[in-house]
Structure 1
């Protein structure tokens, strides 16, 4: 099996994807990953969906909303950021926007005059540092050593993330046919198609009345018009459970003018 994730090699997404498949291919965006799974180019995709410091990865939520894919697994991995460069002095620090945000306090304290540059991935920032001695990258400390004969970088500082508990959730996606009712957690997208006082309360009560815990709920613009939203909901029950089926049945009745998209049930794996 071959999986596709954010590249180039060495990203945190790559580390997560290696828990899924031995052969890993790369794309430059989450949207491209989801599309590559939806059109059958790859059997599995691995996309970041939530970080413990910076919250949800909105591109992932939006890409999954209407794609013909299913969520088959969740991977949680700790994030250890290091500052990597050819020398102790540099003018620019380059990394993924999430990584820069996760190290905001450190960078403002230690390098207030250094310009920050957002790039497609942490690995891309490390590549910039190999190519240009005036650039530092933020990535996993193991990325300091070049795997292809390039320039080895110095680890100037380790564990520079603002919170030691920094971790990221990745969703493993497959074709719709790979979806399952089994697992301890389920993700759905709900578009109410309406807006009135108490609507959100009704949706929440459908789960609360059956003792189904919601581990996450987040609104995203529907893209239809300003002020129109849909909801991404994760709850701690599998679709095989009667209480989950009953809750979703109620939700479907409440959003009669909208729709409910079930992404799938899955289990969680922790990868160091």
Structure 2
């Protein structure tokens, strides 16, 4: 993961409390005494903090290699004016933390993503135990600290911070489990020659082939799509926003041509930012 180190003070909003994987990603991405890490209770709170300039920037989980997209982050982008300035990757190893023994557990707290990334292990080793979704893995550790019948799926950092025992290490289903994060700010990154861009658009669902027409624009301009998602548009029922990530930068000539055409075709179209490609070299599309 590349790091940022600046001379002036910068505040970084992350999904708290302390010990979350987002906190860990923030510490790896922003290195030095000039950075103040500020915890927030939800992903939407991070967006609000950056938009209102209570923090300089924010870091949010975007997708996991095992369990897919973080839909809360996608939903926040729909109404936001923030831009993505960078991405970061963090290998994630989940641990079962508790003050009790495995046989004494009646519930497991964690973020929905963490529960999903460990579902095979949980089904095998804790069948019938209640799985309780909470706002973050570190908040799960806080709850497990006060509940003798509970455990949390969280980081080893949380075991130390919240005085919990490590019942089992590395319980994630995918041993190459990795989470990708976006760095949020008011502007996008400059062109490097190896960049990706994130873009949001809607189509007229009443028109046959409207989505196909929009996606064909990328092919016509020789742009390689690397990811696509859809979410309710928040405009009206059964209407969707589409998110696409592709190789290239907003300053590239072919990208500019494609986005101009998309803005002609699509009722709503929004550039969410360009950022240097940080995908580990051993990972391929």
TM-score (norm 1): 0.91
Whether 1:36 and 2:49 are equivalent positions in the alignment is yes
Please point out which of 254, 263, 266 is paired with 2:272: 263
Shift of 1:270: 6.1
1:53-95 CA-to-partner distances (Å, cap 9, x unmatched) read 2211111111111212110000111110011111213221111
Partner of 1:5: 14
Structure 2: gaps spanning 5 or more residues: 1-9, 281-285
In structure 1, the partner of 2:133 is 118
1:15 aligns with 2:15: no
Equivalent in 240, 243, 248 of residue 237 of structure 1: 248
Corresponding residue number in structure 1 for 2:110: 95
Does residue 179 of structure 1 match 2:188?
Answer: yes
The aligned residue for residue 155 of structure 2 is 140
SS, match of residue 9 in structure 1: coil
Question: What pairs up with 1:147-186 in 2 under 5 angstroms?
Answer: 152-175=163-186, 178-183=187-192, 184-186=195-197
- Give the CA deviation at 1:254: 1.3
State the 1:132 CA deviation.
2.2
* Runs of at least 4 residues off by over 3 Å: 268-271
CA deviation string 1:148-195 (max 9, x = no partner): xx5x222111111111121111110002xx224525000111122453
Secondary structure of 1:239's aligned partner:
coil
Contact 1:181–1:239 (Cα < 8 Å) also in 2: no
Structure 1: 5+ residue stretches without partners: none
Q: How much does 1:264 deviate?
A: 0.9
Of 71, 74, 79, 1:66 maps to 79
2-side partners of 1:32 and 1:113: how far apart? 34
- Cα separation, 2, equivalents of 1:266 and 1:243: 17
Cα distance in 2 for partners of 1:84, 1:14 equals 18
State the number of aligned residues. 263
Moved more, 125-134 or 29-38: 125-134
Q: TM-score, normalised by structure 2?
A: 0.87
- CA displacement, residues 212-266 of structure 1 (integer Å, 9 cap, x when unaligned): 11111111111222221111111111111111111111111212xx121111100
Whether the aligned pair in 2 keeps the contact of 1:75 and 1:268 (CA below 8 Å) is no
Do the aligned partners of 1:29 and 1:120 also contact (CA within 8 Å) in 2? Answer: yes
